[in-house]
Amino acid sequence: KSALDRCVVALDLARASQYHDAERELAIVGQILGDCQWILNSRQSLAELHRLDASLLSGPLGLLDQVASTIAQPVVNQQTPLSLDKRFGRSDDHLHASGRIDHLLTVDGVGAILLIQSNTVSIGCVSKSNQHDIPLQTQGPSSPVMIRRTGDDYFAESEIEFRVNDHPTLRRLLVAGDSIGFGRRGRLRFRKPVPASGSAVLQLTGAGLSRQDIRHVALMADSLLFSNGGGHFSVANCERPIVVFSQPGGYAIKYAGSGGEVGKLELGQSQLLGQTRFTLNQINLSNSSGEK
C-alpha cells in the first residue's frame, strides 16, 4: 500500500468508529513519510477518541460486563465463569489449536524476535490441550495471563491471581519496566520505549519458549524502531534508524524518516541495511520443529 492508500483506509476506519485501527494506519504513514504535524495531530485525535470509547468498558461500566451477560441469557452452569477469551471477543481458533503461524525476525546484534500481531495475546504453559501465543516452558496454572492493547495502553489480566513486580493482582495497567510473573519460572519484562509507536516488547527473563534463542516478543501495533541510540531495540553500528513495519502479506523495512526506499522482507531471505542484517522466517511454536 502507498501512503495515500493508507490515509484513505484510515479515513474509512475513522468513519466506522474504528479509531484504534485508523490510528495504526496513520502511524505507518508517519514511519513512511516522517511524522508531519498533521499526522501527529490526527493520531492524537484518534487516540483520544479511542480512549474515550474504550473507557466505557475499562471503567466502572466494564464491571457490569458479566452482569449484562447474565441478564441477557439464562445461566446454564453457574460454576462456569465467563472466560477472558469471550470477554475480549477472541474466538477459540485464536488459540491456534492447529498451530498458528507467527513470524520470527532475526537481527544482527539483537537475536531472534517473535512478532505477534494481535490486540490480545495469551501467556501460558506449554500444553497439548491449551496452546497459547507465548507458551512458556514452566509449570503454572491452566488459566493464562492475557495482555490486551487498548489504544496506547497495555493491560495484563487473568481469571486467577498472577504477579506483577512480585505483587499479586488480577488486572494491571502495564508501565515500562514491569515484570510479569507466570508459574514457577516465567518472567517477562514489559517495555514500550518509543512514544510514537504503539508497539511494545516483552523480554523473557525467566523460563523461555521451545526455541531457547527467542528472548524477545514484539507486540506489533504498527512498527519497530532499531537504532544505535535506543528505539525498541538498540543495535550497535546502526548508522541510521531503521523501521520494520507490517503490511498486507507480511513485513517491510526502510530507514526511518521521509523518503527512502521501502523493501519487503521476503521469507527466508536476508536484507542488509547498512551493517545490520534482517532475516524473516515463519515459526510455529506449537510444532516441535519450530521454523517453517
pLDDT, one tens digit per residue, over 49-76 is 877 766 655 555 544 444 443 444 444 3
Burial readout 53-72 (b: 16 or more C-beta within 10 A, e: otherwise): ebeeebeeeeeeeeeeeeee
- Residue 114: pLDDT band (50, 70, 90) is very high
Contact between 199 and 221 (Cβ < 8 Å)? yes
Task: Share the mean pLDDT of the chain.
Answer: 79
User: What span, in angstroms and rounded, lies between the C-alpha atoms of 285 and 146?
Assistant: 18
Grid cell for residue 248? 498486507
Domains and CATH numbers, the chain: 3-60 (no CATH), 84-291 (2.60.200.20)
pLDDT number for residue 209:
81
Residues whose CB falls within 8 Å of the CB of residue 116, separated by 6 or more in sequence, listed in order? 102, 133, 134, 217, 218, 219, 220
pLDDT over 60 (residue 17): yes
Averaging pLDDT over each range in 23-37, 74-88, 247-261, which range is the top one?
247-261
Q: Residue range 205-225: average pLDDT? A: 88
pLDDT at residue 147 is higher than 90:
yes
Q: What is the pLDDT of residues 227-253, one digit of tens each?
A: 988 799 999 888 889 999 988 888 999
Q: What global pTM score does this model have? A: 0.66
Q: How many CB atoms lie within 10 A of CB 239?
A: 13
Question: Is the confidence at residue 27, as pLDDT, over 90?
Answer: no
More confident residue, 187 or 91: 187
Long-range contacts of 29-37 (CB under 8 A, 24+ apart): 29/3, 30/196, 31/222, 31/223, 31/243, 31/245, 31/254, 31/256, 32/3, 32/6, 32/254, 32/258, 32/262, 33/3, 33/258, 34/257, 34/258, 34/259, 35/196
- Of 18-27, 179-188, 249-258, least confident by mean pLDDT is 18-27
